[in-house]
């Protein structure tokens, strides 16, 4: 893990779940982490925890729906630590419903966060990476973009779009930048909290209690990809519960 030490890693959606676990693991392995999310209190607590453990961290309240927020975030990271090595596009949201229910506002929120938020992050990071001559984008996707099931149509659509963008960017980079896509399966996060229908929320929580894996498993995949030698690009990782079909 020597290749992770002193790398500056920006993580969106860092206030809980996969983002929080990733921040803790990377900081414990010597990375300097910049935490981004909308909940200032959670970011402050996590930053203080990392610092108490001897790690280096700072935070900026960020809404990935706002392109200007991502620009400010990258600027903040480069000013705070002098450069930026990795952007982990982790922020995401899932609203599950039948497509014919016409939950258009939910669709728009998923598109704004899951898809446009990733693009805004890439757009903010690339100018810095070009000046530096390198950098690493890690996009947290989902197995929902691999196996399509009812109620996840639009959510899976946003994730499939990110999968396509990730691969296209990898090919276009021609070795200038490292591009990694990580697709978690069922992970024990706050996913159910955002679901409006009580029956869907209850079913999701029941399944989570039975099969969900820890966010630490996904954090481990991020650490693996980021810590590889500069000439090694880990392109695609799928991490799911062993019992998930």
Looking at residue 203, its pLDDT comes to 73
Q: Where are the domains of the chain?
A: 2-237
Mean pLDDT calculated for residue range 30-34:
98
pLDDT digits (tens, 9 = 90+) for 81-110: 999 999 999 999 999 889 999 999 999 999
155 among known catalytic residues: yes
Helix or strand holding residue 139 (H, E): strand 136-140
Rounded CA gap, 213 and 188, in Å?
Answer: 6
- Model pLDDT for residues 167-181, shown as the tens digit of each residue: 999 999 999 999 999
Architecture, CATH, for domain 2-237 = 3-Layer(aba) Sandwich (3.40)
pLDDT tens by residue, 42-85: 999 999 999 999 999 999 999 999 999 999 999 999 999 999 99
The model scores a pTM over 0.85: yes
Catalytic member of 59, 120, 155, 177: 155
Percent of the chain exceeding pLDDT 70 equals: 96
Copy the structure tokens of residue 157: 């659509």
Q: 209 falls in which pLDDT band (50, 70, 90)?
A: confident
User: Does 122 score more than 90 pLDDT?
Assistant: yes
- Compute the distance between CA of residue 45 and CA of residue 26 in angstroms, rounded to an integer: 17
Q: How confident is the model at residue 16 (pLDDT cuts 50, 70, 90)?
A: very high
pLDDT at 234 over 70: yes
Q: DSSP assignment of 7-32, as one string?
A: -EEEEESTTSHHHHHHHHHHHHTT-E
Q: Count of CB atoms within 10 A of residue 131's CB?
A: 10
- Cα dihedral value 74, 38, 215, 77, nearest 10: 20
- Find out whether 117 and 64 touch, Cβ atoms under 8 Å: yes
């Amino acid at each position: 893990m020597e290749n992770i030490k002193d790398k500056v890693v920006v993580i969106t959606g860092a206030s809980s779940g996969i983002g929080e676990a990733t921040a803790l693991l990377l900081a414990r392995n010597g990375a300097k982490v910049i935490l981004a999310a909308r909940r200032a209190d959670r970011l402050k607590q996590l930053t203080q925890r990392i610092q108490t453990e001897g790690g280096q961290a700072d935070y900026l309240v960020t809404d990935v729906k706002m392109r200007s927020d991502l620009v400010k975030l990258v600027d903040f990271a480069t000013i705070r630590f002098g450069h930026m090595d990795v952007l982990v596009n982790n922020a995401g949201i899932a609203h599950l419903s039948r497509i014919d229910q016409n939950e258009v506002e939910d669709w728009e929120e998923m598109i704004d966060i899951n898809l446009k938020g990733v693009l805004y992050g890439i757009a903010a990071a690339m100018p810095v990476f070009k000046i530096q001559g390198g950098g690493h984008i890690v996009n947290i996707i989902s197995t929902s973009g691999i196996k399509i099931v009812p109620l996840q149509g639009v959510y899976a659509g946003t994730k499939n779009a990110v999968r396509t963008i990730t691969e296209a960017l990898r090919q276009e980079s021609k070795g200038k930048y490292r591009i990694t896509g990580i697709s978690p399966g069922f992970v024990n996060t706050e996913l159910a909290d955002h679901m409006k229908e009580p029956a869907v929320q209850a079913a999701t929580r029941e399944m989570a209690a039975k099969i969900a894996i820890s966010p630490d498993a996904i954090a481990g995949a991020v650490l693996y990809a980021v810590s590889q030698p500069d000439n090694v690009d880990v392109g695609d990782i799928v991490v799911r519960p062993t019992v998930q079909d």
